[in-house]
Amino acid sequence: MYVLSEWPPSAATPPLGGCGIPEGHITMITIIGPSPSRVRLSRLSAAFGGTVLAAATILTTAVGSAAADVVTDTIPVPEGPSEIAITPDGAHAYVTQQHSDSVSVIATATNTVIDTISWGDSPNGVAITPDGAHVYYTNMIRDSVSVIDTSTNKVIADVPVGGSPPAVAITPNGALAYVTNSSDDEVLVIDTATNTVATTVPVGQVPFELAITPDGAFAYVANMVGDSVSVIDIATNTVVTAVPVGDQPVGVAITPDGALAYVTHQGDDSVSVIDTSTNTVATTFPVGGRPTSVAITPDGALAYITNFDDESVSVIDTSTNTVATTIAVGDRPSGVAITPNGTHAYVTNWFENTVSVIEVGIPASITGAPAAGVVGEVYEHLFEVTGTPAPAVAVTAGDLPEGLTLSEQGVLSGSPTVAGTYEFTVTASNGIGDDAVLEITVDVTAQTDPGTGSLGSLLESLAGS
213-271: pLDDT as tens digits:
999 999 999 999 999 999 999 999 999 999 999 999 999 999 999 999 999 999 999 99
CATH number of this structure's domain 364-445, picked from the four choices 3.30.420.40, 1.10.3720.10, 3.60.21.10, 2.60.40.10: 2.60.40.10
Whether CATH 2.130.10.10 fits 71-360: yes
- Longest Cα–Cα distance in the chain: 113
Distance of alpha carbon 374 from the chain centroid: 47
A 10 A CB-CB count for 282 gives 15
Sign of the alpha-carbon dihedral angle for 47, 354, 73, 136: positive
Distance of alpha carbon 219 from the chain centroid: 20
**Sheet strand arrangement including 373-374:** 373-374, 436-445, 420-429, 392-398
CA angle 49, 248, 260 (to 5 degrees): 120
Instruction: Identify which has the larger pLDDT, 389 or 13.
Output: 389
Amino acid at 169: A
Give me the pLDDT at residue 13, please: 30
Q: Assign 3-class secondary structure to 361-424.
A: CEEEEEECCCCCEECCCCEEEECEEEEECCCEEEEEEECCCCCEEECCCCEEEECCCCCEEEEE
Question: Do residues 134 and 149 make contact, with C-beta atoms less than 8 angstroms apart?
Answer: yes
**pTM of the predicted model, to two decimals?**
0.78
Number of helices (H), then strands (E), belonging to the chain: the values are: 1, 40
Give me the pLDDT at residue 449, please: 67
C-alpha dihedral, 197 to 202 to 205 to 211, nearest 10°: -60
Give me the pLDDT at residue 450, please: 60
Query: Residue ranges of the domains in the chain?
Result: 2-49, 71-360, 364-445
Give me the pLDDT at residue 462, please: 56
Name the pLDDT band for 308 (thresholds 50, 70, 90): very high
Measured distance CA(368)–CA(375) in Å, rounded: 21
Q: How do residues 50-108 score in pLDDT, each as one tens digit?
A: 323 222 232 323 333 333 448 999 999 999 999 999 999 999 999 999 999 999 999 99
Give me the pLDDT at residue 14, please: 29
For the cut 50, the answer to whether the pLDDT of residue 29 exceeds it is no
Give me the pLDDT at residue 12, please: 32
Distance of alpha carbon 111 from the chain centroid: 20
Name the pLDDT band for 40 (thresholds 50, 70, 90): very low
Reduced to 3 states (helix: H, G, I; strand: E, B; else coil), residue 55 is: coil
Sign of the alpha-carbon dihedral angle for 239, 244, 246, 252: negative
**Percent of the chain with pLDDT strictly greater than 90:** 76
Give me the pLDDT at residue 28, please: 38
Distance of alpha carbon 73 from the chain centroid: 17
What's the whole-number mean pLDDT along residues 134-147? 97
What's the whole-number mean pLDDT along residues 129-142? 97
Give me the pLDDT at residue 433, please: 77
- Read off the DSSP letter of residue 449: P
Mean pLDDT of the chain: 85
Beta bridge partners of 136: 127, 147
Distance of alpha carbon 113 from the chain centroid: 23
Name the pLDDT band for 38 (thresholds 50, 70, 90): very low
Q: How do residues 329-356 score in pLDDT, each as one tens digit?
A: 999 999 999 999 999 999 999 999 999 9
